[in-house]
A and B are shown apart, each in its own frame.
Chain A
Amino acid sequence: MVLVQAIIDGILVGTTYALIGIGFTLIFGVMHKLNLAFAAASIAGAFASLVAWQHFKDLPVPLVFLISAAAAGVLGYLIYLTCFRFIPLKSPLATLMATVGMLIFLEEIVTHVSDGKAQNYPGMLPDARWTLGPLDIRVDYILVFAISVAAMLLLLALLYRTRLGIATRAVAQQPVAAQLCGISLDRTNAATFVMSGVLGGLAGAMIGSSAELLSNLLPLQLTVKGLIVTVIGGLGSIPGAIVAGLLVGAVEKGVETWSVLARDLCVMLLIFVFLVAKPAGIFGKLNVRD
């Protein structure tokens, strides 16, 4: 029963990993480039909201979340400008290295803002619990789940019901034809970075909030986990990122009941299994765009 409980918890908070995975995969889908600074920017957004929360005492939690999402969205745009906009896209390593530099830079900022230690972060109803037979579920985990699902639905509506969504999918599928339709690659790419940044900032805030702590080590940890989710889900696949996020969350919490030390090891093993057995990920295709 402890294991079932843990797996349910894992699936509920795994939605934050799914959001991070979606962020990586969205940018990859549109630009066919990895943005390694994405998860660090998400946490940096959360730290921006932490600074606001510390400065203006008693900010309501929803506002703290919104600040995190907005800050990470702005950071997403800045990353696009500094690491992609003026860097030759034909060279596969140039943008990758630029984002590695940005990752280190953002991590350094987080270290300074946090004084090198974990900081208190406002929780959502930390003590509320919902008892369901033998299960005892934290209400804030349910909120994390609900907010994440709402954010994903909003993203889907954006992608499938708006002009921006048409532009985004057109650029992802056929960039030359997209330009021939008068769609600007530059604006669409920038919008994609902002969209994924907002999702990431929301995820970062919820990760901090469900622990009531924002750890200064999160930028790197979340980068690794986000990449694992993206690879397991299949690069460029949003449904893949969602399933993989829940899977990684469930495995993490499940293994934790046995040994906290083995937790990250098992997640690493998971990616090893996938790379050997299903290298394209759950929903990914290995073929390359022409």
Chain B
Amino acid sequence: MLEVSDIVTSYGKIEALKGVSLEVEPGKITCLLGPNGAGKTTLMMTVAGILKPRRGSVRFEGRDLAGQAPRRIVEAGIALVPENRLVFPNMTVAENLAAGAFTRSDGAGIAEDMERMYARFPRLKERSTQAAGTLSGGEQQMLAVARALMVRPKLLLMDEPSVGLAPLVVEEIFRIIRDLNRDGTTIFLVEQNAHMALQVAHHFYLLELGKVTFSGAPGQLAEAEVIQRAYLGSKKTQ
């Protein structure tokens, strides 16, 4: 469904991604693990079109989207739940959802999806007229997910959805990820929480210092080693 090949993205002269290739299969949950600074967020931002790759391709359903404007990528059916949630703090919950549906013009469909979000996330319904900045971290994360779902994405990218949340809330976020996937959404997840990620992933990649160093199903690598490499990086790449 999504094929990233040989992507190089740099900040000035520093290459954050040094030729990354990976694949996300339709209907699956694919995970990208790796230590801080490995380039996970850079990859997400590149796929979403916020960062322009220096070379390489991002093929989605056969079309190359590399370097396209974020709007085109959203319209193609890819939505990103960004790291740190980035909700619009002074807009209400309802307005945040409306912003998520910005590229759509089917008023009835938008209203229907909004109700669907409220059904899936009842806390958001209770707070629909509240400013998003007043929500708790977990509620903001749910809002960020719901905002991305308003795109009706075929592929949902999630960048560290569990970061900074209490363990119970993390459990809930992963339950939501599973639910969304069961309802047919393909998910590409970046996580620091390797333990939780390995429980939901069908396939995972390890990214270290801008390069993919492992690709396989959970269980192909001992969890202890995955965690070691996801947090600290492996010796050979350092």
Which residues of chain B come closer than 8 Å to A184, judged between CB atoms? 69, 71
Task: Indicate with 1 or 0, residue by residue over B65-84, a CB within 8 angstroms of chain A CB atoms.
Answer: 00001110011000110100
- Residues of A170-221 at the interface with B, using a CB-CB cut-off of 8 Å, are 170, 173-174, 176-184
Interface residue A263 (Cβ < 8 Å from any Cβ of B)? no
Which residues of chain A come closer than 8 Å to B95, judged between CB atoms? 166, 169
Contact status A170-B91, CB under 8 Å: yes
Which residues of chain A come closer than 8 Å to B74, judged between CB atoms? 180-182
- Residues of B142-179 at the interface with A, using a CB-CB cut-off of 8 Å, are 147-148, 151
Contact status B88-A174, CB under 8 Å: yes
Partner of B102, one of A174, A176, A183: A183
Contact status A183-B88, CB under 8 Å: no
Contact status A177-B71, CB under 8 Å: no
Task: Indicate with 1 or 0, residue by residue over A123-137, a CB within 8 angstroms of chain B CB atoms.
Answer: 000000000000000
Known: A166-B98, A167-B102, A170-B99. A179 touches B70 (CB 8 A): yes
Known: A166-B95, A173-B88, A174-B88. A180 touches B102 (CB 8 A): no
Interface residue A55 (Cβ < 8 Å from any Cβ of B)? no
Bound-complex Cα distance A183 to B86 (A):
14
Which residues of chain B come closer than 8 Å to A183, judged between CB atoms? 71, 99, 102
Interface residue B129 (Cβ < 8 Å from any Cβ of A)? no
Contact status B82-A181, CB under 8 Å: no
Contact status B82-A177, CB under 8 Å: yes
Bound-complex Cα distance A183 to B75 (A):
11
Interface residue B50 (Cβ < 8 Å from any Cβ of A)? yes
Interface residue B87 (Cβ < 8 Å from any Cβ of A)? yes
Partner of A182, one of B82, B89, B98, B102: B102
Interface residue B53 (Cβ < 8 Å from any Cβ of A)? no
Bound-complex Cα distance A183 to B87 (A):
14
Partner of A173, one of B71, B91, B102: B91
Bin the interface of chain A by size: 10 to 19
Interface residue B134 (Cβ < 8 Å from any Cβ of A)? no
Interface residue A163 (Cβ < 8 Å from any Cβ of B)? yes
Contact status B86-A181, CB under 8 Å: no
Bound-complex Cα distance A129 to B82 (A):
59
Q: State how many angstroms separate the Cβ of A164 from the closest Cβ of chain B.
A: 10
Interface residue B199 (Cβ < 8 Å from any Cβ of A)? no
- Residues of B98-144 at the interface with A, using a CB-CB cut-off of 8 Å, are 98-100, 102-103
Interface residue B48 (Cβ < 8 Å from any Cβ of A)? yes
Q: How many residues of chain B have a CB within 8 Å of chain A? A: 26
Residue pairs across A and B with CB atoms within 8 Å: the count is 66
Q: State how many angstroms separate the Cβ of B169 from the closest Cβ of chain A.
A: 20
Cβ-closest chain A residue relative to B91: A169
Task: Indicate with 1 or 0, residue by residue over B41-72, a CB within 8 angstroms of chain A CB atoms.
Answer: 00000001110000000000000000001110
- Residues of A149-176 at the interface with B, using a CB-CB cut-off of 8 Å, are 163, 166-167, 169-170, 173-174, 176
Interface residue B90 (Cβ < 8 Å from any Cβ of A)? yes
Task: Indicate with 1 or 0, residue by residue over B185-215, a CB within 8 angstroms of chain A CB atoms.
Answer: 0000000000000000000000000000000
Contact status A182-B50, CB under 8 Å: no
Task: Indicate with 1 or 0, residue by residue over A42-82, a CB within 8 angstroms of chain B CB atoms.
Answer: 00000000000000000000000000000000000000000
Partner of A169, one of B50, B80, B90: B90
Contact status B98-A180, CB under 8 Å: no
Q: Of residues B70, B79, B147, B148, which shows the largest number of chain A Cβ atoms within 10 Å of its Cβ? A: B70
Task: Indicate with 1 or 0, residue by residue over B19-58, a CB within 8 angstroms of chain A CB atoms.
Answer: 0000000000000000000000000000011100000000
Bound-complex Cα distance A183 to B73 (A):
11
Contact status B50-A163, CB under 8 Å: no
Known: A166-B95, A166-B98, A181-B100. A176 touches B71 (CB 8 A): no
Contact status B70-A182, CB under 8 Å: yes
Contact status B87-A180, CB under 8 Å: no
Q: Of residues B88, B95, B99, which shows the largest number of chain A Cβ atoms within 10 Å of its Cβ? A: B99
Which residues of chain A come closer than 8 Å to B103, judged between CB atoms? 181-182
Cβ-closest chain B residue relative to A163: B102
Bound-complex Cα distance A193 to B23 (A):
42
Q: State how many angstroms separate the Cβ of B90 from the closest Cβ of chain A.
A: 6
Contact status B50-A181, CB under 8 Å: no
Contact status B89-A173, CB under 8 Å: yes
Cβ-closest chain A residue relative to B101: A181
Bound-complex Cα distance A181 to B91 (A):
14
- Residues of A25-55 at the interface with B, using a CB-CB cut-off of 8 Å, are none
Give the top 4 A-B pairs by smallest Cβ distance, nearest first: A182-B74, A182-B103, A177-B86, A179-B70
- Residues in B lying within 8 Å of A, measured CB to CB: 48-50, 69-71, 74-75, 79-80, 82, 86-91, 95, 98-100, 102-103, 147-148, 151
- Apart from A176-B86, A182-B103, what are 13 other A-B pairs with CB-CB below 8 Å? A166-B98, A167-B99, A167-B102, A169-B88, A169-B91, A170-B88, A170-B91, A170-B102, A174-B88, A180-B70, A180-B86, A181-B74, A181-B103
